[in-house]
Chain A
Amino acid sequence: MNNKNIKKVGALTALANPTRFMDLSGKLLPWLALLAALLTGVGLYLGWQAPEDYQQGITVRIMYLHVPAAWFAMFSYTVMALSALGVLIWRHPLADVSIRAAAPIGAAFTLLCLATGSLWGRPMWGTYWVWDARLTSVFVLLIMYFGIMALQRAMEEPARSARPVAILVLVGYINIPIIKFSVDFWNTLHQPASVIRLDGPTIHPSMLWPLLVVAVGFTFMFLAMHMAAMRNEVRRRRAASLRKAGARGKSSAPATAVLEG
């Protein structure tokens, strides 16, 4: 192992030290939350100002919620998969905290995506729900979030559930490319991608810009919520192990040993 590698690992551990994480995230959190509220608000306002679709009329405005929600439903899972790698390779306790914090957020985004999608589908397709490839694969994603959350809550010791959950998250990652490309593989009802594609977006700039602003706002929203949930989880574990230490005897556990479970 050369010097550079050692340095890199050192920087990673320094950043991922729970105490330092709490310090840093405490300072960042208000700014992230503010940016999220501001950008999402501005984006949605711009979306309301944007021209209506000549075919879909006013219902096209649902897009400004639906599309970012779908992106972040997948993004949350990607964050969880990366954290799962962190659990399995570096065995870092904060990575497990990150998975646990991201799962409900991802489930909420997925639910929002499905709800807005079916409200949009009712006037446009004439039905709230069809078993189209894209819709089905997103529905599967929702069940997967629920399965992961159920597994996390099935074990009392967070340290024991970390690795099984990480394995499950990684195995489930196959679904993400399936969702992304489902509209290309099976050309059924849901329209193909119009923003993230190789030959550039096919959506008009007047609609694209508000969409992107909302997406950036959602990014900050995700970061803020994820960070807040992680802080809660760290505190929850700290409280649990302090309680255990208190039950054992007078000497309280050192703060850094708490996360190791």
Chain B
Amino acid sequence: MTALLIRDVKLGLRAGGGALIGILFYLAVAAVTPFAMGPDLNLLAKIGPAILWIGALLASLLGLERLFQIDREDGSLDLMVLNRHIMPLSFAVFIKCVAHWITTGLPLVIVTPLLGLLLNMDGKAIGATALTLLIGTPAVTFIGAVGAAIAVSLPRGGLLVSVVILPFVIPVLIFGVMATFGAVVDGAPFKAPMLLLAALTLFFAVLGPFAAGYALKNAGD
């Protein structure tokens, strides 16, 4: 169990593991927006949290197809399916999701303050965005595991994962941005969307690996 976690984290951090690509993509989204919106600092500060959330969401979606693809190519996915009486498949998927989040989701949270400064956000807004991303991005990974598991048997499933997953991550985006604005703007609710965001993460932490494990088991035969 720990071995699988460490192995996946190591693989993810290695060159070509996709962690760096996700961060660069996140950076690109945040850097491109001021060009589209115009360099009005007040406007940027206002919509900054939303931009960062969109960027983080897209960056997470980008890396999802790698979740099972590499394991399938080198055959370790089949081993996991065969050894499911030792470690249940949904549990293995859960560990893989955690490792995937550590290598792709967590770096996004870490670079968020830097991008927040570029977008002229104040300290409170940066903190709120980083906090909601920390709580919300695991949900994206867990939901994405279902799509990645379904698409693993497809010859060209890469883009399909994002399309199939998109409707399910919309609530995460809504509550994430809502909670961030709730922390910054006076009078906007903070506690309720924050709790719902946490609930989404916990809910999909159970449902996602379970459904993904089932899909992987069936993809094998």
Contacts and interface: CB of A to CB of B under 8 A. Distances in A.
Interface string B139-169: 0000000100010011011001001101110
A247 interface: no
Contacts, number: 52
A178 B215 CA distance: 25
A138 B112 CA distance: 32
Contacts of B153: 155, 160, 164
B167 A168 contact: no
A190 interface: no
Interface residues of B, number: 21
A170 B211 contact: yes
B170 A140 contact: yes
Interface string B153-189: 1101100100110111011001000000000000000
A147 B167 CA distance: 9
Contacts of B166: 143, 147
A172 B167 contact: yes
Interface string A148-188: 10110011000010011001101110010010000000000
Contact of B160 (A141, A143, A154): A154
Contact of A150 (B146, B160, B219): B160
A99 interface: no
Contacts of B190: none
A80 interface: no
A144 interface: yes
B168 A171 contact: yes
Contacts of B219: 164
Contact of A168 (B146, B170, B174, B207): B146
B214 interface: yes
Given A168-B164, A172-B168, A163 B215 contact: yes
Nearest to A156: B155
Given A167-B211, A171-B211, 19 more contacts: A88-B214, A136-B170, A136-B174, A140-B167, A146-B163, A147-B163, A147-B164, A147-B167, A148-B164, A150-B164, A154-B157, A155-B154, A163-B215, A163-B218, A164-B219, A167-B215, A168-B164, A172-B168, A175-B167
22 contacts: A136-B174, A144-B167, A147-B163, A147-B166, A150-B164, A151-B150, A151-B160, A154-B156, A154-B157, A155-B154, A164-B153, A167-B150, A167-B211, A168-B146, A170-B211, A171-B168, A171-B207, A171-B211, A172-B167, A172-B168, A175-B167, A178-B171
Pairs A-B, 10 closest by C-beta atoms? A164-B150, A147-B164, A163-B218, A144-B167, A143-B167, A140-B167, A167-B215, A167-B211, A171-B211, A147-B163
